[in-house]
Amino acid sequence: MQIMNKFTLLAMLFYASVGFAQKYQLTGNGLKASVGGTDVELQFYNASTVRVLKSPQGRSFEKKSLAVTEVPEKVRISVKENGNSVRLKTSGVEVVFDMETGVVGFFDAGGKLLVSEQGRPSFKDFNDAGNKTFSVRQSFRLDKDEPVYGLGILQNGKMSQRGQTKRMVQGNVEDYIPFIQSVKGYGIYWDNYSPTDFIDAGEETAFRSEVGDCIDYYFMYGGNADGVVAKMRRLTGDVPMIPLWAYGYMQSKERYKSQDEIVGVLRKYRELNVPIDCVIQDWQYWGHNYLWNAMDFQNPLFRNPKKMMDDIHGMNARVMISIWSSFGPATRPYRELAGKGMLFDFGTWPQSGIDSWPPDRNYPSGVRVYDAYNPEARDIYWKYLNDGVFKFGIDGWWMDSTEPDHLDFKPEDFDTKTYMGSFRKVRNAYPLMTVGGVYDHQRAATSDKRVMILTRSVFAGQQRYGANVWSGDVGSSWETLRKQVPAGLNFTLAGNPNYNSDIGGFFCGHYNKSYADGGAPRNPMFQELYVRWLQFSAFNPMMRSHGADAPREIYQFGKKGEPVYDAIEKAIRLRYSLLPYIYSTSWDVSRRRGSFMRALVMDFADDRNVWDMNDEYMFGRSILVAPVLEAHYTPEVAVKVNENDGWDRDRKKVENAVKADFTKSHHSKVYLPAGTVWYDFWTNERHDGGREISKTTKLDVIPLYVKAGSIVPIGPDVQYSAEKAWDNLELRVYTGADGEFVIYEDEFDNYNYEKGEYTEIPVSWSNASRRLTIGRRKGAYKGMIQKRKFTIVTQDGVRKTVSYDGRKVSVRL
């Protein structure tokens, strides 16, 4: 065994150059070799992450990753030859390179095989808009029964992604990240931005990309799912804190047609005393389609944007506003970008300059997508966004069509020239570039307001831009709702924690058609679906109601005292009560690379029953969520609708609406993972894990269970997130196991936390002594709570209140 240091590395280099020059040579962080006409390089980025580069022998190229931000560190590597193989071992992994075949195998530090390549790489000649390059492919050998997760936001309803072939090109309702992770605790990130196939068939699991100067992938070993997510974040960027208000309830629709309307919606919520933190303005505040995305309030119904902002801020709420990746020909950004050759020439939304449906192709809109790969184009984009919109005090960006919309597709569209080569070569990274451009520019402009971005598409690394991604213009159906759960979980397992979906589904026109009296919001079939979707979204990183065809405000569904209205209000209030838990979890996400929505395999990998479970998950590390995903009160209606034909609102029909008694009780089956005790969130009933139970539900109740040993802070009853200080939090302690939780607080909406201006209050529970300890407060920030109370409640009825001034206090319960 040889330990690589300055002297042994020189010796190895000499030895390799004399006896094995044709085989391999060691480098400062791995090795290089040429085998079978292929150049291979292994680069250790850290002790558990290895980059693998392969290219046709002798071909020179330059590859700078758009997603990877990690810089390789010095890693202590031991090297040993064994027959025809070279073994490179660190404290984290062992990598074996076969000098005869070029195959690379990956093992844990104990020598257990995790995964290996299968066969030789494939390089097929490809003419990419006149540039000679390759289509590239690499296969891997996985265990037959080994589940893998990730790939982004998919609408296939699957948890494990084995047994399928998936074409990955960014679209409206599916967003792709070429990354998988295994239940065995490793991940593979395929660093390619062109149209890519994930293939899992027979004995082969492979990535195949249309364009690549080389094969470039990263193997990472984390030991478990959290560890893999942490490695992916370390590789591609950590998650910044978003403001507290962004975890409150958000109301939207397609679209509020005047500033009076959007202000009126917020005012109505305040009159009803229903909590809300944000109203969202969708498109056409700029005017007609020839002014598409003008980044200017040219619509006369938005005559005074400053007053609109003042009115909304005066009611202690925020505004998020729609911006796009394209511009109409009558806009100033279009003219400047066109003059510099920074607009693409392929079909995009909208297709007509006249705001009517269906599009009138006799009057083409002329809208064109901008070249977000070009740094100067990103500068121009921000210049107009800042001057025309941000100056009024807008609080968040709804970046729509960041995939971007690519309609009337023609193969030659991929030949479109971008700043970084053909559109084909960098196509899937478009959302990363355009979202990153807005984030970077706002960060440069001010540190007083955290960047808040909601966007429709994503690529690897986008989590570093504080972007919450929604699942696109999905249809309103139970089957679609069911698919949103594994969509969010696989997205999380690919490294990005910030997921949400349109509550109720975007297209609900079929429910209007079947219920003329008040439309979809008064149709019991849509009411039940909407309530269950809302309850699911209360346990998403963002809780946002949005859709077309019918309004979604709470008062559209009835009035207080009626079951549907009350169920909606209850879910929103539940969300607000959990804000201290959610905000502290957001700190765990940012600081410790944790996750909000946690597939059960993340916490219970030893329980094989959860490996492929697609209808339950943990929210944070304490609360198990089993959303109701089937109709109990009304018939389920199978509706097939996609983001293109969904706009044709008049042709979709369902059976006539039915009457429903929403006061009745029903039952839902819930599996409680093994290895812990669980408590019913609503009743505190105790259950052993490792079995399925039946939970009695009503319209306003979904199954929620809390893991033994959990400490869950509960916040005050508020109308908006920061209305009341957290100076008398309730700490719910669930006994039966030791536990701990860190309560995190800061100024809620600036970047002073990056300078250390925040506090952490560690709370721990000793089950043996039944003692809760609230530890010494760590840190400080301007305006922090100096003295407070905590009301401690256990699930078995003990209740005590203690005073706390930042010093350690302990209480026996």
What is the pLDDT, as a whole number, of residue 421?
A: 97
**Is the pLDDT assigned to residue 4 strictly greater than 80?**
no
3-state secondary structure of 62: coil
Query: Given pLDDT bands bounded at 50, 70 and 90, which one contains residue 12?
Result: very low
DSSP sequence for 694-709: EEEE-TT---EEEETT
Q: Give tens-digit pLDDT for 158-200.
A: 999 999 999 999 999 999 999 999 999 999 999 999 999 999 9
pLDDT tens for residues 433-448? Answer: 999 999 999 999 999 9
Average pLDDT over residues 134-139: 98
What's the mean pLDDT when you consider all of the chain? 94
| Residue 651: pLDDT over 60 | no
With a CB cutoff of 8 Å and minimum separation 6, the contacts of 620 are: 581, 582, 585, 588, 596, 598
Give me the percent of the chain exceeding a pLDDT of 70: 95
pLDDT digit string, tens, across residues 503-536: 999 999 889 876 767 899 999 999 999 999 999 9
Least Cα distance to 226 among 598, 499, 558 occurs for: 598
- The two structure tokens encoding residue 658: 């039915």
Token pair for residue 366? 């002329």
Identify each DSSP E strand in 734-775 by its residue range: 739-745, 758-766, 771-774
pTM, whole model, 2 decimals?
A: 0.96
Range in 176-180, 233-237, 352-356, 703-707 the model is least confident about: 352-356
Three-state SS sequence of 237-305: CCCCCCCHHHHCEEECCCCCCCHHHHHHHHHHHHHHCCCCCEEEECCCCCCCHHHCCCCCCCCHHHCCH
Specify the 3-state DSSP secondary structure of 786.
coil
Categorize the per-residue pLDDT at 357 as very low, low, confident or very high, splitting at 50, 70 and 90. Answer: confident
Give catalytic status of residue 403 as yes or no: yes
413: left (phi over 0), alpha (psi -120 to 50) or beta: alpha
The helix/strand/coil state of 435 is: helix
The span from the CA of 354 to the CA of 346, in Å, is: 19
> Please, which residues bridge with residue 216 across strands?
53
Of 3.20.20.140, 3.40.640.10, 2.120.10.70, 2.60.40.1180, which CATH number belongs to 725-812? 2.60.40.1180
**Nearest CA-CA partner of 715 in 620, 549, 575, 565:** 575
Task: Report residue 645's pLDDT band, with 50, 70 and 90 as the boundaries.
Answer: low
Q: What is the spatial distance between Cα 167 and Cα 739, in angstroms, rounded to a whole number? A: 43
The pLDDT value recorded for residue 22 is: 45
Half-sphere exposure of 641 (CA within 13 A, CB side): 29
Band (pLDDT 50/70/90 cuts) for residue 416 is very high
Q: What is the pLDDT of residue 648?
A: 56
Active site residue 311: no
Mean pLDDT for 211-240 is: 98
The rounded percent of the chain whose pLDDT value lies above 90 is 92
Instruction: Give the pLDDT confidence score for residue 7 in this predicted structure.
Output: 31
If pLDDT is split at 50, 70 and 90, which confidence band does 355 have? confident
**Which two three-digit tokens encode residue 564?**
């549907």
Bridge partner residues of 809 (DSSP): 774
Task: Write out pLDDT tens, residues 13-37.
Answer: 333 333 344 489 999 999 999 999 9
pLDDT tens digit sequence for 800-809: 999 999 999 9
Burial of 479 (0-12, 13-18, 19+ CB in 10 A): middle
Annotated active-site residue in 473, 502, 607, 680: 473
pLDDT the model gives residue 356: 82
Radius of gyration of the chain (CA): 27
- pLDDT band of residue 635 (cuts 50, 70, 90) is very high
Q: Per the structure block, which two tokens stand in for 768?
A: 């043996």
Query: What's the pLDDT score for residue 726?
Result: 98
Q: Which of 400, 405, 549, 603 is catalytic?
A: 400
- When pLDDT is averaged across residues 579-586 and rounded to a whole number, the result is 98
- Biggest CA pair distance of the chain: 86
DSSP string, 445-481: H-SSS---EEES---TTGGGGTEEEE--S-BSSHHHH
pLDDT (0 to 100) of residue 646: 67
Picking from 468-477, 504-513, 589-598, 740-749, which range would have the lowest pLDDT averaged per residue?
A: 504-513
Kindly tell me if the per-residue pLDDT of 731 is higher than 90: yes
* β-strand partners of 198: 166, 207
Task: Note the pLDDT of residue 637.
Answer: 78
Instruction: Give 89's DSSP letter.
Output: E
* Cα 578 to Cα 89: distance, rounded to the nearest angstrom: 45
Place of tokens 């569904």: 557
Rounded CA gap, 347 and 410, in Å? 9
What is the CATH code for 2-236? Answer: 2.60.40.1760
The whole-angstrom separation of Cα 397 and Cα 9 is 51
pLDDT of residue 9: 35
**pLDDT band at 655; cut points 50, 70, 90:** low
- The answer to whether 636 is a known catalytic residue is no
CB burial readout 80-93, b (16+ within 10 A) else e: ebeeeebbbbbebb
Give per-residue pLDDT as tens, 710-721: 999 999 999 999
Cα–Cα nearest to 766, from 796, 735, 743? 735
For residue 703, the Cα-to-chain-centroid distance in whole angstroms is: 24
In this model, does residue 662 exceed pLDDT 90? yes
**What pLDDT score does 70 carry?**
98
Per-residue pLDDT at 703 exceeds 60: yes
From the CB of residue 367, how many other CB atoms can be counted at a distance below 10 Å?
Answer: 25
Q: Residue ranges of the domains in the chain?
A: 2-236, 725-812
Q: C-alpha angle with apex 551: 545 to 552, nearest 5 degrees?
A: 30
- Which residue of the set 117, 296, 403, 747 is catalytic? 403
Are 281 and 264 within 8 A, CB to CB?
Answer: no
